[in-house]
Amino acid sequence: MRKDLVFGMAGSGGDGIVSAGDSLLQAASAEGYHGVMTKSFGSQIRGGESSCRVRISTDPVLNPGGNLDVAVALNWEDFLKFGAELPVAGTTVVIYEAATGVPENQIPLVGVTPLQVIAVPIAEMAKTHAGTERAKNTVVLGLIAGWFGIGAVAVMKGISKKLAKKSQELVAANQKAFDAGMAFAKEHPLKADMTILPLEDKGGVKLLTDGNDMCAAAAIFAGCQFFGGYPITPSTEIMQFFTNHVWKYGGAVLQAEDEIAGIGAAVGASFAGKKAMTATSGPGLSLKSEMMGLASIAELPLVIVDVQRGGPSTGLPTKTEQSDLFAAAFSAHGDVIRPVLAPTSVADTFRTTIEAFNIAEYYQTPVIILSDQEIASRKETLDPIDTTQFKIIDRLRPTGADLQDYKRFKQTENHISPISHPGMLGGTYLASGIEHVESGAPTNSGSVHARMNDKRTKKFDPLKERRDLFEITGNPDAPLALVAWGSVAGVCREALQMAREQGLDVKLMVPYLLYPVAEQTYRDFFASVQKGLVVEQSHLAQTFKVLRMHLDLPKGLQSLARSGANPFLPGEIVAALHHLLAELQRSHEGKLQPQE
């Protein structure tokens, strides 16, 4: 029996592959298992290939997993398009559509011999038992329930709930298709027992949600009352969530004609005194950069979510990547610092979004949340969130004394000035993109410009000292180290566990604050490091280079970076650590050579 199973399924648009994955994860969640589902599509507007990965475990899940335990191919052409996203190994059971006509000993996987290969007449079974090939995904769920022990009752309950709105006849037909899959599995047992361990303690009710919904829910919880934006993959669900829910809390949504108008409206809402937000993806972030500069010089709180996808330009719109760090940190004219935060999972997207609003409000600044396609779109099981742990911060408002002679951009000890809003008696001021004196009046003075640049940049010094924006795991004095953020952090967390179980002395840093760079926190972390890796999905190794701009990195610290749509696997990180350890040991052996 297994504690952990990773399923990968692929087919054509309309095969219901993603729907099957969703049903599988929901059933596992109902049975008390932990799980993650990621989806991947071709970039076609309609049709094309689609796939999903579902990882189900008796323990909390940190990432979508490594090599597949179970691969399901409804046709080989579409399956092979996903390449490294659905890696098959010698431990994988491969299930595929028999109608493809491919003999079991000739499946088109190069350089690998799976544990077992099974051709199943999936379409034929669907047509025979449900009367339509559209029930192929239900047959697949029956096969999975039969072979791998995922609660059959829970799976069929979920399918029934989904189809009951259409007709009871459809539910009955799918029940027959599901039973046929179960019966096939019983008649054709696997060579090895791959059923998942039953749970004695289901651990209570679990949430099943994705990163985009968690981001929007957290924003509303933090008090956001205005969203201005324009739909773009893979961030669109954030605006959809706001549209469905923020009106219940007195808020509003503007779907603007383009990205620039969307952020412009959000900047206006912030000037009007409301917590405001916009969301986009790479190309949209480029369009919003001038307005981000305006919000920076006007010192207006604003949260901008960038759900990263492969770039540049239209790039890989349906694949994940971590290549917008340069754009998030530096896409501004003039001398500007803006905080950049990154969640590492669906669960901490909630915390990170609240933190982004708190920082935006406290420091009166735009803040960027760098999510990524994997976190935004993947579904995770998670325990209910204790919202009483969160403190909500609002912007500093002027007192009655401040309003007697109100200076919006008054120089203060901590460089943060009280901010008024239209309609506040005595709080009228000019807010614009031009340099200004303390009252907001325009100026061309170089000395005033320098003082205001000081004000706008030095106010972030305390932010760089916050250690709670960094997760550090492992022996503080370890000679080996990993640094990773975003969705890659989950892979490295599992790699850290594996490496420590194998006796490696290694530690991991996960920064939630990417920019400004917290120099002292990194210096302290790197103090013991002789070899290490900065792991990221960026062809240019953007994180490694940003760190190198600000720090004298240990000589043994290397970049492990590559483009999107090629996910890292925990095992390869561990292998890289073993390689570093061997290098370290050789270098020490050299020092111990006897003198001649």
What does the H/E/C string look like for 104-148? HHHCCCCCCCCCEEEEECHHHHHHHHHCCHHHHHHHHHHHHHHHH
Torsion (CA) 490, 584, 545, 309 in degrees, nearest 10: -30
Report the alpha-carbon distance of residue 230 to residue 170 in Å, rounded: 37
Residue 593 is predicted with a pLDDT of: 56
Please state the three-class secondary structure of 182-215 as a single string. HHHHHHCCCCCCCCECCCCCCCCCCEEEEHHHHH
- Please report, in tens digits, the pLDDT of each residue of the chain (596 residues total): 899 999 999 998 778 899 999 999 999 998 889 999 999 888 766 667 899 999 999 999 999 999 999 999 999 999 999 988 999 999 999 999 999 999 999 999 989 999 999 999 999 999 999 999 999 999 999 999 999 998 788 888 888 888 888 888 899 999 999 999 999 999 999 999 999 998 877 777 788 999 999 999 999 999 999 999 999 999 999 999 999 999 999 999 999 999 999 999 999 999 999 999 999 999 999 999 999 999 999 999 999 999 999 999 999 998 999 999 999 999 888 999 999 999 999 999 999 999 999 999 999 999 999 999 999 999 999 988 999 999 999 999 999 999 999 999 999 999 999 999 999 999 999 999 999 999 999 999 999 999 999 999 999 999 999 999 999 999 999 999 999 999 999 999 999 999 999 999 999 999 999 999 999 999 999 999 999 999 999 999 999 999 999 999 999 999 999 999 889 999 999 999 999 999 999 888 766 555 44
In the prediction, which pLDDT does 547 show?
98
Measured in degrees and rounded to the nearest 5, phi and psi for residue 192 equal -120, 150
Between CA 7 and CA 356 the distance in angstroms is: 34
Q: Is 70 exposed, middle or buried (0-12, 13-18, 19+ CB in 10 A)?
A: buried
Report pLDDT for 312: 94
DSSP state of 57: E
Sequence-ordered alpha helix ranges (H) in 365-508: 373-377, 446-458, 461-464, 487-501
Amino acid 158: pLDDT = 85
pLDDT at 46: 61
Q: Are 484 and 491 in contact (CB under 8 A)?
A: yes
Residues 6+ apart with CB under 8 A from 402: 418
What is the pLDDT at residue 45?
Answer: 60
Count of CB atoms situated within 10 Å of the CB of 412: 13
Decide: 564 and 514 in contact? Cβ < 8 Å: no
Whole-angstrom distance, CA of residue 288 vs CA of residue 421: 23
